[in-house]
Amino acid sequence: MTALLLDHVTKRFGSVTAVDDLSFSVPRGQVYGFLGGNGAGKTTSLRMVLDIIRPTSGRIEVLGKAPGRENSADLGFLPEERGLYKTMSAIDTIVYFGRLKGMTASDARAEGEKLLARFDLSDFAKTNVDKLSKGMAQKVQLATAVVNKPSLLILDEPFSGLDPVNQGLLEDEIRRAADDGATVIFSTHVMQHAERLCDRLLLIAKGAKRFEGTLEEARAELPPRLTIVSRETPAGLPGVVSASEAGAAGEGWTAWSIEMEQGRDPGDLLEACTARGFALRGFEQHKPSLHDVFIHIVGAAPVGEVKA
Ligand SMILES: Nc1ncnc2c1ncn2[C@@H]1O[C@H](COP(=O)(O)OP(=O)(O)OP(=O)(O)O)[C@@H](O)[C@H]1O
């Protein structure tokens, strides 16, 4: 069953088309990456899913229903613009959000205390949010999003502002929610998180879908690249588009960097070498990173990307 469906959704702000005829669906139980550079339309899309703003045209279904209050008890949301009541303590903040989601105060408190312990914030449970560091407050806000164990968790740029240790903690939390059966959708312009976490991903640029599928399918968008070590030139072997010398490998052997035709299986090249008696001493396939895929598909690096 589908956790989220967007059907030809467009959102215009005056003359700006922030989201442009976007269609995709997220199967239940998956971790889904929503990727794009600054201004690509990620936040606008997520705001429509949460019924904060309405589409100009198109249809959205969240857990089988139109966006709105009806399904809010099943949702968890971490907005891009963080903001909590500054004069409320960490634990009271979490309890407050749990109550909004229909939890009893005691259940929300018990779950809140567990979350604070997991986030290494037990000592700050009674500290007012305005006395916490930015990263700590962000973890409290994450706790408010997951306190009700939502079946759909939506996180807008959840990694920004967290140090590497807390980024790892957040990755663990996303995996934990998914292991418990939740669907998790998160937006990011940092490809490494998506690479580690996502079952599927959507890549948008200027509001429009540029790619949707699994990580393997994303990688297959790029022509395969490999390095082989041979005595003869591999140029002319089936599927080889270009071969350049990468250096001598001793005793008459040479390392070659090869680019193959898009969609070719490098295994076929290995087979062809064996069939032709083409002597090989090394054969190494290079998996493209999601960053490479992004640049290939969008034509530029995601603006604002930082190396994780
Ligand atoms: N309320 C608004 N009024 C006018 N234009 C808007 C509004 N909200 C967003 N936009 C425009 O819509 C486009 C998409 O913005 P959006 O915030 O959805 O991008 P994003 O992918 O979330 O970017 P970022 O990674 O920078 O947060 C941008 O051109 C932005 O300026």
What percent of the chain is modeled with pLDDT above 90?
65
Say which CATH architecture domain 225-287 belongs to. 2-Layer Sandwich (3.30)
Q: What would the mean pLDDT of 279-284 be, rounded to a whole number?
A: 92
Q: Match 């399904």 to its residue by tokens.
A: 71
Q: In this predicted structure, what is the pLDDT of residue 284? A: 93
The stretch 296-308 carries a mean pLDDT of: 62
| 148 CA distance to ligand 1 middle (Å) | 29
**Mutation test residue for ligand 1: of 35, 44, 78, 188, the one with most atoms within 8 Å of CB:** 44
Q: Tell which wins on pLDDT, 46 or 304.
A: 46
Rounded to the nearest angstrom, the distance between the alpha carbon of 272 and the centre of ligand 1 is 50
How remote is the CA of residue 13 from the centroid of ligand 1, in Å? 9
How far apart are the C-alpha atoms of 109 and 92, rounded to whole Å?
8
165 CA → ligand 1 middle, Å? 29
- What is the per-residue pLDDT for 306? 45
85's tokens: 């009541």
Q: What is the pLDDT of residue 300?
A: 67
CA 20 to chain centre: 20
Q: Residue 208 corresponds to which tokens in the numbers above?
A: 């429009």
Instruction: Tell whether ligand 1 has an atom less than 6 A from the beta carbon of residue 36.
Output: yes
Which residue in this structure is represented by tokens 């054969």? 283
Can you tell me which atom of ligand 1 is nearest the CA of 44? 18
Give the CA angle between residues 62, 169, 154 to the nearest 5°.
Answer: 10
State whether the beta carbon of 18 lies less than 6 angstroms from ligand 1.
Answer: yes
Greater pLDDT, 68 or 226: 226
Nearest Cα residue to atom 3 of ligand 1: 13
Task: Flag whether pLDDT at 308 surpasses 50.
Answer: no
Q: Is any ligand 1 atom within 6 A of the Cβ of residue 279?
A: no
pLDDT digits (tens, 9 = 90+) for 114-147: 999 999 999 999 999 889 998 899 999 999 999 9
Please report the pLDDT score of residue 167 as a whole number.
92
ipTM above 0.85, yes or no: yes
Distance from the alpha carbon of residue 54 to the mean position of ligand 1, in angstroms: 14
Model confidence at 307: pLDDT above 60: no
**Phi and psi, residue 257, nearest 5°:** -95, 125
**What is the C-alpha to C-alpha distance for residues 189 and 193, in angstroms, rounded to an integer?**
9
pLDDT band at 45 (very low <50, low <70, confident <90, very high): very high
Task: Please give the CATH superfamily to which domain 2-219 belongs.
Answer: P-loop containing nucleotide triphosphate hydrolases (3.40.50.300)
pLDDT band at 220 (very low <50, low <70, confident <90, very high): confident
Centroid of ligand 1 to alpha carbon of 44 (angstroms): 6
Q: What's the pLDDT score for residue 229?
A: 95
Alpha helices in 180-213 (DSSP H): 191-197
- As a whole number of angstroms, the distance between CA 25 and CA 216 comes to 18
Beta bridge partners of 11: 19
Q: Residue 249 and residue 225: Cα distance in Å, rounded?
A: 19
What pLDDT does 73 receive? 81
Tell me the average pLDDT of the chain. 90
Ligand 1 within 6 A of CB of 39: yes
**Minimal CA–CA distance to 177: which of 24, 8, 291, 31?**
31
Query: Using one digit for the tens of pLDDT, what is the confidence trace for 145-194?
Result: 999 999 999 999 999 888 999 999 999 999 999 999 999 999 998 888 99
The reported pLDDT for the residue numbered 263 is 83
Q: Where are the domains of the chain?
A: 2-219, 225-287
CA gap 24, 226 in Å, rounded: 33
So what's the pLDDT on residue 44? 95
